[in-house]
Structure 1
Amino acid sequence: MDADKKLESAAIAILTRAVSLDKANRYTESLVCYQEGITLLMDNWKGLPAGRKKDAMKEKIEEYMTRAEQIKKVISEKKESGTYHEEIVIENDSKGHSYESVMGRFLGSDVESVRIEDPYIRLHHQFCNLIQFCELVVKKCKNLKMIYVLTGKDSDKCQEQDVWFKTLKKDLNDNYSIKMEYEFSSTLHDRQIVLSNGWQIKIGRGLDYFKAPDVKHGLGAFDTDFRHCKETKVDIFHQKDTKKS
């Protein structure tokens, strides 16, 4: 398969997923796929000779661009009215659900603070999950100033847990000029991540929805897109007053 055919096939695959996500009302994911697919298809279109195929492809590109603009409008209107809701079901043993895949599109320069509420950041692997999420947030949110964590206390290893948090807090402050505050609650149950740009992400299992890697020294040890997941549901909302919290 030549380069043009590969480019066209890649564009079609991404746009097919965009349409599927669109039909499922997963608009933010769909928009990302439309934008990526349109870019690839346009690159392919530029290399085609004049003729019917080029004209037909231009027509399809315009259709996808129109739909992408419509989705932007839908998202904007729902955000403005406070009615935006998107649901993602992560199936048991499925892969491809890293924090970046699930939440990366909501993280950008408009995020100045992040609030993480998760009662189970107690065990070592759960704290490693928190570190991975913080790495993603710091990398993508260039104007980040504050990370706030509310979690439960591990009654058996409370001193060790406190050391982990103090170490992360110091690292964020000393090396990235980002403040971190954390509190322990004995009554916390709900799990949610609240971003200062208005996005609110509720994950049924919190950050701890990955299964252990299949092998210790194999794929998935670091990149969680390769990890099998536990079944859970992700609900995404947008609340205008979140910006003030």
Structure 2
Amino acid sequence: MTQNHVSGMETSAISVLKRAVELDHSGRFQESLVCYQEGIQLLMDVLRAVKDDLKRGHYREKIKGYMDRAEQIKAHVNQIKDDGKYHEQIRISEDATGYSYESLFKPYISSALTEVWIEDPYIRHTHQLYNLLRFCEMLLKAPCKVNVVHLLTSQDEADSSQQNSALAELKESLRVQGVTLDLRYSSTIHDREIRFDNGWIIKIGRGLDYFKRPKGRFSIGYCDYDLRQCQETTVDIFHTQHTKTVGDS
């Protein structure tokens, strides 16, 4: 392994761990834990590639420090989850980037996740239907085995034909992937939240529709949602030992 490659891995590790510390200090513990784990793995890769004993000792010390902090966070998160008091808030500012569904939901997806509930009154217009499609694609690529997605939304009263045909197509496409789309409509729904059967509840002020319209079809951010600007919104994350089904009060 070349020195440049080792240096590149070290730079990546420092960047990820710096982000972990920032999130840690902001009280965004679940997110920081993911970054600590990724950064520690990168540092361990560097350690394996380094031959100098002095440097190896330096990396071992760093790794131990970060591992100790990650364990403290894990114990803290588990305790407040057990107490039913977990609440974390993320404020997405106007024009912010880096908030694709992959980035936002990654800390809360685990191998135990098999069932998802989506409550969002506005899955009607083309871009909103595409948002749902992208969210489902994210779940299919994630390290979990989701087999049921429950969607509770409202029907487009002006013209429901596009909504109905798009959701029917998505339902069939998910079926081919081994996932059931359980679709229900409500005329009184107003809350927006996403629930995972591993206990995580994510409430986004704007639901899945927090992205700005791209400036054009060949503008940066049109395909990659991490590069797309967001509208200002607040994300509240909770954890419960008992996941309710859609429609429960």
Pairwise TM-score range, normalised by the shorter structure: over 0.9
CA RMSD of aligned residues (A): 1.8
Alignment equivalent of 1:22, drawn from 11, 21, 24: 24
Distance 1:15 1:141, change over 3 A: closer
- Please state if 1:231 is matched with 2:226: no
- Please state if 1:135 is matched with 2:158: no
Q: Give the distance between the partners of 1:158 and 1:13, measured in 2 at CA.
A: 47
Question: Which residue matches 2:62?
Answer: 60
TM-score under structure 1 length normalisation: 0.92
Structure 1 stretches (4+) deviating beyond 4 angstroms? none
Q: Answer whether contact 1:121 1:151 (CA < 8 A) is retained.
A: yes
Give the superposition deviation at 1:107.
2.2
Which piece of structure 1 moves more, 130-139 or 41-50?
41-50
Which piece of structure 1 moves more, 163-172 or 49-58?
49-58
Map of 1:90-169 to 2, 5 A cutoff? 90-140=92-142, 142-169=144-171
Q: Which amino acid aligns with 1:105?
A: P
SS at match of 2:112: coil
Unaligned runs of 5+ in 2: none
Please give the per-residue CA displacement for 1:87-137, whole angstroms capped at 9, x wherever unaligned.
111111010100010002322331221110011111110000001001111
Please give the per-residue CA displacement for 1:125-167, whole angstroms capped at 9, x wherever unaligned.
0000001001111222643221111112211111221122122
Q: Give the distance between the partners of 2:77 and 2:92, measured in 1 at CA.
A: 22
Distance 1:211 1:47, change over 3 A: same
Q: Which amino acid aligns with 2:48?
A: K
Question: Which residue matches 1:189?
Answer: 190
Q: Give the distance between the partners of 1:140 and 1:15, measured in 2 at CA.
A: 22
Question: Which residue matches 1:34?
Answer: 36
Q: Percent identity?
A: 45
Unaligned runs of 5+ in 1: none
Q: Answer whether contact 1:98 1:225 (CA < 8 A) is retained.
A: yes
Give the superposition deviation at 1:10.
1.7
